[in-house]
Structure 1
Amino acid sequence: MRKTVPTLNETSTPSTAATRKGDSTWTIVSTKERVSTPKIALLAAAFALVSGCAAPPASASGSGAPGKTRIVASDYPSRPAVRQFVAAMSERHGFDAASLDAVFSQVRRNDEVIRLMTPAPPSFKRSWRNYRARFIDPTRIAAGVGFWNAHARAVNRASLQYGVPEEVIVSIIGVETVFGRVTGDFRVIDALATLAFDYPRRADYFRSELEQFLLLAREQGSSPFAAHGSYAGAMGLPQFMPTSIRQWAVDFDGDGRIDLHGSPADAIGSVANFLSRHGWVQGLPLRYGAIVPNPERVGPLLEAGIAPKFAIAELREHGVDSRDPVSVDAPLALIELVNGDDPPDYWLGGQNFYVITRYNRSSFYAMAVIELA
């Protein structure tokens, strides 16, 4: 029997929201009822009460591996940046400030989150071949075949509905979580708050995601302390950030709720919808082999980034050509995959390669998805 959680506040337009399902699943459900404005303050106050009851006590080990995560007692409610955030949430979304203070008093800074988010030192030499080996391996491939076979109907239906190849949909879930085996055990609100208020280089982005996460929790009346995910706050089989959940997650199994943890069909449909909404072009190749005889001439092409901007004729002016047939007017980008001290690999990426990088803004990531697919 599913436990019901009282709805605390819902926006005036249909949206997606999140709730804890049982003891292990963070579920996203559609919210359609309207709540009148006078109820907002009272409902938001209840938010703090429910949150306080549902929040497990923070421990020294945090939500990561035992003995590896340092949890720091909260001083968030007294910080000026948090005070400004709370005031903005109250003004923009009708949250009760005292209720949010009660939530933030239970949020803990997680130093492991900061460690994992911090970029590698300049001396570290990135290598596509090493990166590739992490994702293209017999275990992941076998798991992918099993996942695809087990959910063949949903994968096929998503491909037909959204125009995205079946193998790409499956591959993204494989790269993200090994088909649901590794979805993350960080408490999402701790991860997002840590990055929003203790990681200045990306504070604006993570404050926006924290805002969206709190909206998810409020819309369904769920505890914001229930969700677990990656150190960056991504959740479920497809590792959607809160903004992506609210904008692009779909109820693909038709049960009236969006469950990115417990419903592979919802995860499959949501991945396909994300790619479609970001400009996927049905039938367009994922990549083209590149001929680069003179790498010293391609600097201007690489400086232009990975968004496809150049016709093949423009690439040829820089000594670059395609090994594969390509339309004369198809926009392309030159993709360089560095290999440490060894020569880089070169490819040409079109619109669909670029769309994959909207999921994770890395050429390494997009190429891993393509090769696993």
Structure 2
Amino acid sequence: MALKSKAVGGAPKVKRRSPLWARLCAIFGCTLMVLSGGALITSQAVVARYAGAVETKDLFGNSPENGKKEPVSDIKGPLNILLVGIDPRDESTPPLSDSIIVAHITKDLDRAYLFSIPRDLRVEIPAFPKAEFLGSTEKINSAMSHGSKLGNGKHDAAQGFDLLAKTVGKLTGIKEFDAGAIINFHGFKDIVEAMGGVTMKIDQNVKSEHLQPNGKPRDRMAGCESHQCEHPYIGPQAEYKKGTYHLEAWQALDYVRQRYGLPNGDYDRQRHQQQFIRAMADQALSKDVVTNPIKLDQVLRAAGDALIFDGNGHNVIDWGLALRNLRTQDMTLIKLPGGGLIENGAYLGEQLEPSAKDFFAALQTDSVSSFLVDNPKYLQKQ
């Protein structure tokens, strides 16, 4: 199906002074309250159904059996949340973190900074005894796979998340994350379908590596059925042109998956994924969703099915309430500048520029805004 152009510049926004639905809901589904006629109304039935739909697991190794008590204090800033996107796999297949995003929330809980970590970033992955992993230096998207091993050929994405969190913490200096979520990309598609699509600005021409213009998978070249070819697909390609469009769910998910053929490869894909998150949040906050009880319930249930959540002792309702004053315009997208790491002519992965250490230091002191004044190149293209 062809892209449908939309004349307006972005999704409609609800302009009210009252707290809105679901601050950061597109990130981990904290959709909690219903607005009607400018008044804040809590729908207990919808909230209860949504809270029950979200799967919760110990993602940080903090369960009581691991000798750690669950926190009981209120949610207070500054906060760091780790969000990991994966393709759904069965327990016999090691999970890979295709998208790694950190959300830093300021002390006053009034601004969020989102940055993506390149999946091919070469880092030190610490030892992880639970999976009998001794540690290594390799691409960061391997951490989740190494940490997920249970033995007997089985894997657990939640356990793998724990090692990935430790790896990201070692890179960034974040000692402990305040919350985390594993996001199922197929579940994201269900959320967008429930919303009736998403309006999104496409900032560069992109051809799909995976899908045809009608949304069906492209054919594979003979001999490439087992994923051993870098570019195994042949035939017509779906195309996404610069401009603002209302995308169907399959189009939006296909667009943000692409990295081959882009000038900056995975760095362009990271930007598109961040833009997608923001567009989803705008769409979820629009009148088309928040004032439509049927669509709202469908979005909530789809969000619940897409997530595995760990709020470190607090559920999604607690987190949604804590972040109730955040709006999508309060979300700043960050890019971490870097490039390929080449040794003896061999590509080993990606590396960040030295100034990234200063950015990570700014996270520790909750001074990201000041850092960005001096380093505007870290501001992602909106």
Q: TM-score, normalised by structure 1?
A: 0.21
Select the structure of larger CA radius of gyration. Answer: 1
Q: Which has the higher helix share?
A: 1
Q: Which has the higher strand share?
A: 2
Q: TM-score, normalised by structure 2?
A: 0.21
